[in-house]
Amino acid sequence: MSDKRSVRDVDVRGQTVLVRVDFNVPFKPGTSEISDDGRIRASLPTLRYLLEQNCALIVCSHLGRPKGRIDESVRMAPVSQRLAELLGLRVLQCNETIGRDVSALAGCLMGGDVMMLENTRFQPGEEANDAEFSRELASLATFYINDAFGAAHRAHASTEGVAHWLPSAAGLLLERELRFLGDALEDPHKPFASILGGAKVSDKIGVLDNLADKADLLLIGGGMAATFIKALGFNVGESPVEDDRIAFAKSLIYRSESGEVRLLLPDDVVVADRFNADADSRTVPVGSIPGGFRIMDIGPNTERQYCEAIKACKTVMWNGPMGVFEWEAFSHGTQVIAETLASLDDATTVLGGGSTAEAVAVLGLTDKMTHVSSGGGASLEFLEGRGLPGVEALPNR
């Protein structure tokens, strides 16, 4: 997918460009104050590049899940205000996504102007990938740039449909995502390790299946480890287990034992008597998890084993925290893995989005990684080897 045409491959000078970004940013509860503007900042290289080409920009994004209806709590005005501050330019905020007034405004834009459309998901045609809505969006511009990797796994009008109506290309962020994730999957420097955590095996089955054929080493943590530990025949107490995935876990363990791939599972874990930040907790071997307790993090022996293995690798891909990192008592495994990756001098470290990116950001280590993906669901589907509709709609170089 890294052969997709980039904005740098085309002449966009003086054009009116529709730019699909992922500005689905979080807000402080009960306010219109953005709590993390990372997704807005991630789009700045593309927007600035286009402005340098004297383009007029029409920026669009979804925000929240209004499901085709106007929802005052997820209007784009606070986002366009923050974008204006970061660009140091005035950003004209539309009250609608399409229509006569929007078309009139778009027709008045000059090179260097920036206009933000209203939330694309206020329109029922967005998630339905409606051809007429796609056409109306496309009519506002002369060129289309998709820079929204975080939404590229959705076949929506503004991510997929509009690319069929306008000359199009990938933005710099999307190009970077495809390059780093693609290289890690298809041409990694060896040894190649994949660290997978998070709550459910079912969320990662496609990734595990795909990476088992590519990685030299798989390391398992997070809540999903309970299913693997049970597959080994151990009691896991009150830990949530996906019983319908135990057969899959056993098959992966068998593949490891037969030498197809090296699989590392926790040999000790931090357990708690309830799912609470101040629960009674203790560290125990995986074969001695007491009844009434549940797995909340990997233990210190597992941390040491995992870190030693990681240090020997040249490419490391990480998706999913090692424990309930939001609570200090169960954050140590995730912290140690992050710090180890940050310390590697000659390795490529690629992190999936979502909670993994959040954990690394909280630790202040984002800049120490080679690449931190901007897309949670999109990065998972990419790692599964599935095509992303928003990417596939773009032409090749």
- List the catalytic residues: 39, 200, 354, 377
CA distances from 301 to 257, 270, 308, 316, 330 (A): 21, 11, 11, 20, 15
d(CA 276, CA 293): 12
CA distances from 143 to 9, 20, 84, 257 (A): 13, 11, 22, 53
User: Cα–chain-centroid distance for residue 377?
Assistant: 6
Note whether 57 and 115 are within 8 A (CB): yes
d(CA 4, CA 395): 6
What are the tokens at 354? 């979502």
Residue 233, phi-psi category: left (phi > 0), alpha (psi -120 to 50), beta (remainder): left
d(CA 345, CA 39): 27
| CB burial of residue 206 (10 Å; 0-12, 13-18, 19+) | middle
